[in-house]
């Protein structure tokens, strides 16, 4: 029995019982109640007489849609499906004898699949998603089922498709998706950050409780919440606090620019423990004291950003996911993901301006014949290649189990500086066209500004 919406078959031998209980199920089901309300409203004759049908139907549609999301986020119950005393970790990648960042054949195929998905699914939907501040319906499900972004980092012993730790593969996928659209790429990759954190640092019980949901047919919405709404935020000194309480911890604070916050079912929240410093906590969306507020921003609008408010949220003692050096690695891996995303969107800007400056005529010749234009395009390409190689090198060291703090810091710095410069140069090269929404460069510039300030949200 897959559910009412999945074509629930009624056995002949018990048809009377099912017909009696089915209406009660519909009454208790918020989704069915919303559909019933919409149908009743559509049949109300006075709406036509007063010209109110379209605005009221639109309002009921959005209200019902929000109710569906809320009900869906609260309906899932995370519970261990098997006994798993010890955690399962992916093996580290082998260290090559020579320094070589050339992707393997498998990585090239994965990157190609992600690039095709970005071209066919993300790029065409980006402009509308930016206006509506949320991804298109069904996009995240298609990404999970067609690309398997949530399972590629989960070992096969836990039901995933991974064999060894591969931060480079994660960086390649992030770059390819961001070439389609950075905001939608963040929305697609946000749940994978949580599953990756569980694989790398989760206990056996935490993995058994939460990871089966990510390997199922309907992976949960999830988000890594680190950033806070304060100037010069330092992820190693969060103001969100975790204080000891009866039977666990109490979380208080505010998290900012959390992707998919309104529909997420599981959060990994960064908070400060008095005795341990910053740590990561697993928080389910149904926890009392947890609320979400809309927080549309300058960029990344398709990621459906929200503000997470924690007011006395109680979690158990087993909710601590990582602290100490593991917490530091989470921040570094997140910054590598943002560097990879910036690389993909910067490449999209470069790919867009090169044909434009070659075709745009001024004074009887292409504007690319002007040295100022040609040098600006060359600078974009040089900065982009430096960012890409630095990101790949840091990701390669991370997957080999080597220290990568310095390399991650360099990638973060280049992403913030070069990303902004490339986005600005793209707008400048298009002149007046760079300022209007007819061309996507202005959206890419707004998105690239986030690469130097975002923390958490995504991870390789």
End-of-domain residue from the set 294, 323, 352? 323
Pairing of strands 277-284, 266-273: antiparallel
Q: Which of 120, 131, 140 is nearest to 184 (CA)?
A: 140
Number of domains in the chain: 4
In a domain, 166, yes or no: yes
Q: What pLDDT sits at residue 2?
A: 35
Average per-residue pLDDT in the chain? 83
In a domain, 225, yes or no: no
Percent of the chain with pLDDT over 70: 82
Q: Are residues 378 and 423 in the same domain?
A: yes
Query: What is the tens place of the pLDDT at every residue in 365-393?
Result: 999 999 999 999 999 999 999 999 999 99
Average pLDDT over residues 130-154: 87
Q: Are residues 213 and 156 in the same domain?
A: yes
User: Per-residue confidence at 407, pLDDT binned at 50, 70, 90?
Assistant: very high
The count of other CB atoms within 10 Å of the CB of residue 324 is 11
Average pLDDT over residues 224-251: 93
Q: What pLDDT sits at residue 129?
A: 95
Q: Are residues 319 and 330 in the same domain?
A: no
Among the ranges given (139-148, 225-234, 349-358, 383-392), the one the predictor scored with the smallest mean pLDDT: 139-148
Nearest 5°: the CA angle 309, 245, 314 is 35
DSSP string, 158-225: GTSSBSB--HHHHHHHHHHHHHH-HHHHHHHHHHHHHHHHHHHH--HHHHHHHHHHHTSSSPPPEEEE
Q: Are residues 195 and 261 in the same domain?
A: no
Q: What is the residue whose two structure tokens read 């707008």?
A: 427
* 8 A C-beta contact, residue 72 and residue 191: no
Kindly tell me if the per-residue pLDDT of 450 is higher than 60.
yes
Q: Are residues 293 and 208 in the same domain?
A: no
End-of-domain residue from the set 187, 220, 253? 220
User: Per-residue confidence at 8, pLDDT binned at 50, 70, 90?
Assistant: very low
Average pLDDT over residues 328-338: 97
Kindly tell me if the per-residue pLDDT of 88 is higher than 60.
yes
Compute the distance between CA of residue 196 and CA of residue 158 in angstroms, rounded to an integer.
12
List the CATH number of the domain containing 128: 1.10.540.10
List the CATH number of the domain containing 337: 1.20.140.10
Percent of the chain with pLDDT over 90: 61
Query: What is the tens place of the pLDDT at every residue in 166-200?
Result: 899 999 999 999 999 999 999 999 999 999 999 99
In a domain, 336, yes or no: yes
Q: Are residues 197 and 247 in the same domain?
A: no
The count of other CB atoms within 10 Å of the CB of residue 95 is 11
Q: What pLDDT sits at residue 35?
A: 41
Kindly tell me if the per-residue pLDDT of 37 is higher than 70.
no
In a domain, 24, yes or no: yes
Q: What pLDDT sits at residue 51?
A: 55
Query: What is the tens place of the pLDDT at every residue in 52-85?
Result: 555 444 444 343 333 333 334 445 777 776 677 7
């Amino acid at each position: 029995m897959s559910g009412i919406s999945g074509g629930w078959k009624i056995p002949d031998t018990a048809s009377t019982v099912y017909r009696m209980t089915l209406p009660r199920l519909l009454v208790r089901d918020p989704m069915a109640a919303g559909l019933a309300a919409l149908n009743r409203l559509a049949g109300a004759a006075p709406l036509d007489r007063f010209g109110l049908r379209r605005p009221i139907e639109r309002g009921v549609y959005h209200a019902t849609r929000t109710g569906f999301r809320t009900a869906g986020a609260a309906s899932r119950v995370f519970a261990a499906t098997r006994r798993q005393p010890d955690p399962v970790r992916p093996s580290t990648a082998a260290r090559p004898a020579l320094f070589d960042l050339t992707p393997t054949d498998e990585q090239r195929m994965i990157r190609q699949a992600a690039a095709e998905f970005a071209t066919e699914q993300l790029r065409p939907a980006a402009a509308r998603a930016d206006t509506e501040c949320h991804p298109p319906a069904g996009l995240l499900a298609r990404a999970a089922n067609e690309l398997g972004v949530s399972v590629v980092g989960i070992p096969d012993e836990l039901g995933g498709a991974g064999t060894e730790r591969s931060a480079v593969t994660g960086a390649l996928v992030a770059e390819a998706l961001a070439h389609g659209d950075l905001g939608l790429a963040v929305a697609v990759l946000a749940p994978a950050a949580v599953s990756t954190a569980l694989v790398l640092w989760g206990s056996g019980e935490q993995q058994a409780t939460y990871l089966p949901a990510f390997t199922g047919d309907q992976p949960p919405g999830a988000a890594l919440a680190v950033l806070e709404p304060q100037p010069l935020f330092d992820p190693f000194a969060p103001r969100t606090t975790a204080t000891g309480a009866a039977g666990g911890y109490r979380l208080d604070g505010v998290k900012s620019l959390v992707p998919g916050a309104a529909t997420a079912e599981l959060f990994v929240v960064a908070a400060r423990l008095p005795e341990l410093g910053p740590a990561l906590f697993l928080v389910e969306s149904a926890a009392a004291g947890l609320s979400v507020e809309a927080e549309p921003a300058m960029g990344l609008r398709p990621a459906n950003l929200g503000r997470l408010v924690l007011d006395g949220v109680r979690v158990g003692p087993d909710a601590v996911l990582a602290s100490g050096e593991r917490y530091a690695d989470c921040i570094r891996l997140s910054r590598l993901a943002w560097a990879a995303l910036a690389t993909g969107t910067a490449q999209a800007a470069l790919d867009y301006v090169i044909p434009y400056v070659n075709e745009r005529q001024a004074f009887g010749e292409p504007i690319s014949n002007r040295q100022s234009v040609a040098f600006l395009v060359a600078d974009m390409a040089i900065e982009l290649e430096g960012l890409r190689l630095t990101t790949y090198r840091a990701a390669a060291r991370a997957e080999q189990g080597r220290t990568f703090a310095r390399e991650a810091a360099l990638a973060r710095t280049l992403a913030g500086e070069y990303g902004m410069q490339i986005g600005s140069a793209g707008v400048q090269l298009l002149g007046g066209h760079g300022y209007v929404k007819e061309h996507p460069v202005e959206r890419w510039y707004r998105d690239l500004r986030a690469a130097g300030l975002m923390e958490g949200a995504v991870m390789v």
